[in-house]
Structure 1
Amino acid sequence: MPSYAATFMADLAAGRAVVFEDMENDPRLAGLAAWPAHEALQIRAQIIVPLVKAGRLSAVFFVHAPDARGWSAEDVALVGDVAERTWASVERARAETALRDESRTAETLNRTGAALAAELDLTRLVQMVTDAGVDLSGAEFGAFFYNLTNEAGESYMLYTLSGVERAAFEKFPMPRNTEVFAPTFSGSGVVRSDDIRADPRYGRNDPHRGMPRGHLPVRSYLAVPVTSRSGAVIGGLFFGHPRTGRFKERHERLLVGLAGQAAIAIDNAQLFLAAQRELEERRRAEEKLRDLNETLERRVADEVAERVRTEDALRQAQKMEAVGQLTGGIAHDFNNLLTGISGSLELLQSRIRQGRLGEVDRYVGAAQGASKRAAALTQRLLAFSRRQTLDPKPTDVVRLIHGMEELIRRTVGPALEIVVSADAAAWPTLVDPNQLEGALLNLCINARDAMPESGRITIAAANRQLDDREARAHDLPPGEYLSLCVTDTGTGMTPEVVARAFDPFFTTKPLGQGTGLGLSMIYGFVRQTGGQVRIESEPGAGTTVCLYLPRHHGTVAEDAALTERPDAPRAVDGETVLVVDDEPSVRMLVTDVLEDLGYTAIEAADGASGLKILQTNVRVDLLVTDVGLPGSMNGRQVADAARVTRPDLKVLFITGYAENAMLRDGSLDPGMQVMTKPFVMETLADRIREMIEA
């Protein structure tokens, strides 16, 4: 006898609700088998609402009443609405559950991938893979078997277990190359079974005809081969669950991906272990070799040490030669400048004694001019020695060349002719003038060395407009450039030498006559400035080195002239300045300037004495200190210690050399400034006033 549910299934599948107002007397139910639950639940009236999704009956929603009743259309609509809302809630819950599962899966994959990439211990690595496989598949337990085969292909080794103690496998033999295991250990494919015991391959060649007594209860089964880059099967990942139908296609895809990660990580770990073994074997072999050749090695070590000493001495000689090439001409200039300074001072003293004060200004001007030229020479030396960072300024290169012409003539010597061909309308460029002076001098010295007997050096400056083609050839953006070229009539260079000319330490000069650093320093400086360096040379026909520097569209400041300055600003309200310097003449000059301007000046000859004054209650509006001081404290240390009790103390460092001790991480603290010796006393007075008023 058919059931009433089967009778009305067509209506439900078509999406039509079935309504019963009195099931005991409804003619549609006459002759149909009763549903036992009706009597148990005391159902008399009923609404059955189908939920058809994607053309398929997906669910049925029941509403019951214990007594007969008439259902209105609104009742049926309400039940339909509740059914839809219930379905939506169920679907949302399923989606949220699926999303959580996907998130957890992604997290597991990411965490495992990162861990595998960093792990080189095989035992820990394979255990991580097995644990991750159990987590991703929802297996009850998992294992990794190494594919160590004998001639019959039946020798596997249990490497790791997850979800079960190792003792669970110790009393059973390793799996053999049976039909059900074969795809995994041969690498031919994945084995996934909803019930391995029902698989016709399972136990076919096994005398036990199935699972041994006491074995783990495996029904759902999933096995994935792990194959190395070479194609060899490293082993297999095996997962089981006591319930049927636990592993789906999704789990299979996840574990195939995990097996790929595992294969790469195992390959890497094995390569690392092989390398470690090779290194260890090499170390043992080297130890034996050292034992056999101890005497020989000692002799070789002595020879090497002697060679190192010789090379050190040679490098020192090369450094001294390089310094000598530059300083010979500069020393000559310094002697001239010192003569001008000392002679002017002697005559100044003589004229004052004679009462001939009308000539005083002339000698003062001469001494000041010589002092400023000496300061410029000092800055050029610092730039050449690369002891200061780039300080780009708008620069008139033609004026710079003429300013260096006499120094270059003295440096290269009288045997060589110097020709300057500079376009008076040459564009200015934004460059560190000190570095450019050092580069020009270096190029002239190189040109001199290429003409050991006689020759001509031509220094030229001209404007260059580089179009797209020329710019590409020079590895520069198209635009306007100032070219500075040095040409000699010397021995020239081969294309091979030109190609390596900018390599650090590369030189064609005889041993001991060059460090090979000059051109590399020039190249780095010019490239940092946004320009380029190019060499044109031919053996026997000379060499031209051109620096291409970007045009600067601003103006260039004129050279400072020895003009009268307005009166320096005077002190107010008893302002006090502490002067710390170990040079008595410097202290005297600075103190006299301060006192002339109305400041109270306090002197200290070293850092400790200056700090004692600063640790009292005496008024100090500004600390003026040299950086390099004798004793245990330099100027920076004095300033830092003083600011412990005087946090707002303003500090002006005066120094003849930019010592690193003055700076921390490349900058001065707020309220600190620096002036480089020598300086104009009026400039010092202006700076002191400016800092006190700030």
Structure 2
Amino acid sequence: MSQDRLSLALSTGRVAVFEWTVDSDRLAIQGPLVEVFGVTASDAEAGLPLQAFFQAIDRRDKARLMSVLNRSIETGEPYEAEYRVHGSGEERTVIARGQVETDAQGGKRMAGVVIDVTEEKAANAALKEQTTALAILNRAATTISGDLDQNRLVQTITDAAVEISGAEFGAFFYNIIDEQGERYTLYTLSGAPREAFDRFPMPRNTAVFTPTFMGTAVVRSADITKDPRYGHTAPHYGMPKGHLPVRSYLAVPVKSRTGEVLGGLFFGHSQTDVFDAIAEERVIGLASQAAIALDNAQLFQAADRELQQRRRAEGELQALNANLEERVAEEVTRRAMAEDALRQAQKMEAVGQLTGGIAHDFNNLLTVIIGGLDTIKRSKTGDQARIARAADMALQGAQRAANLTGRLLAFSRRQPLEPKPLELNALVREMTELLHRTLGEQIELEGVLAPRLWTAEIDQNQLESAILNLAVNARDAMPDGGKLTIETANTALDESYSATDTEVIPGQYVMLAVSDTGTGMAKDVVARVFEPFFTTKEPGRGTGLGLSMVYGFVKQSGGHVTIYSEESQGTTVKLYFPRFTGSADSQPGPSEPVAPTSSEGEVILVVEDNDDVRAYSTMILSELGYVVLEAPEADAALAILRSNRRIDLLFTDVVLPGKTGRVLADMALHLRPGLGVLFTTGYSRNAIVHQGRLDAGVQLISKPFTFEQLATRVRDLLDRRIS
């Protein structure tokens, strides 16, 4: 190591070099890290007996360390040991490495380094603890997602919360409705026998418990006995005699979607200052899951009670003839209520499937991302090939996560569209080569393109993705080969057709159909194909979001989608897009992706409330050569805009605290007419997107974006402004 590199390493305070002359027992250490041994830098550099440094070493490590040293001196093997030291007043963990050298006279000396690894050890421990907590939370979520037994459900939540919070014991007091519709309170325990609480009454709405029972706040106390609200309520004035000892205390309300308090999670520990903010956040997450699960269980029970009541009413109706008309009307009302409850239950089941599918796919993607980053963290200097592979793996996982988010936004009709006049026949011809490569030689591709096809106004990128999705689904339905036909036509959907589907607006449409000669589907499968995460493919071959994304995109475009299929006969999916009646301007063809850089002195103002995203955007733009100004919210940005600083482009998030990005852009253009504005967002409803489409003249880059995408959009906007 050169002297400059050695000085740089020592300056960090985490490294020291040592030399131990064995025969004279003089150990010299150089570097700020010597403070952990409780000696001065001058004494350490001059050299002291080995024992002078050993005094600061943890007594639990001394014997092992001396054994390793002696073996290294005797055998000449490299010396390496990890141990704890306390000379600086706090416990630090270090790793020492050295090599024994013997001179011509037989004298031995050892030279090496001491490295402080305290932060790395703490980070690894925290990562392990977080991983364990995540596994517990996932296990609890999986267990309760389909459980309608409230006793089992709350026991699972209680056990999981005790595990992740570090409590000695915990209880879940919750309300339940019996068959007569009366409400009463039960409780579950974890970490303590039930008899420890049987002789005590239910917790009351005292000053300490009020926030929990009212659902207004979480109560977390490092020492509940020192809480000013504690010990003022008769008859016990504190903990009842014989109660389990509680010093640290944590209580979290469990509330339904309507705001009703369903119960509360209570945790205790005999020691003080046990529950921290992380434990509180985790228990709050479990409480939210418990609320959803309890709501679902009660909803299904309510639906069951309604169905039972309906059956009883039907029996009474058959037995009684008097007042028939009145009784029929009453029964119709009861049936409507029961059907509403059942529909709500089915809706919750669909929500459960959706959230479960999202959690499953994102957990898989996070495993890839975390694994890649962890590999990078553990890689040694010089292992560039391994680091590159791990980085590629993490980047690919992140990109798949971004694609999954885009599909979910498309299904929910929340993905901003940039529709432009489009000739569908030309698009189909341009995609022919891509489809041939995608489908393979076993699939025959045919286009039946209508002459004089009307123009439609569509987001071209989304339509290409939809066609590719349909083509891939068709290929998978023809494992032994077959024929795929893409057809276009002009058509009209009249009032009689729209009567069968209330979302269809009568009018002229451009139709695009994708047909295959594959295996087809049964009627019950066809009825579910547009549901998110529903798939007929084997595990690992499909996410179940392809058709749901197509459905959301077509509906968001103001169109209509139908599917026709018969088993062993094949499938046809028809997409209908409203006819465009305006004038279509020719659009330039796609250009090769580049990463253009800044012209001299160009200044960009970046406004983003998320610190990490703002740092990432600033890093990219600075790397491209732009002068970058930063602001975390609109008011700070306006202060910069009112100054005399040169600003060529405003790059702002749509969703900001206080004033939105759209409001900021309007004010910026008033202050600086002609200023370029580029919006970014991961999800936006009304600020710059209306009826699923970007407002006219608005320039948007969706999150997450890449280096090349941001570079291209920024350069394009700046060049337009200059021209």
Larger Rg belongs to: 1
Q: TM-score, normalised by structure 1?
A: 0.38
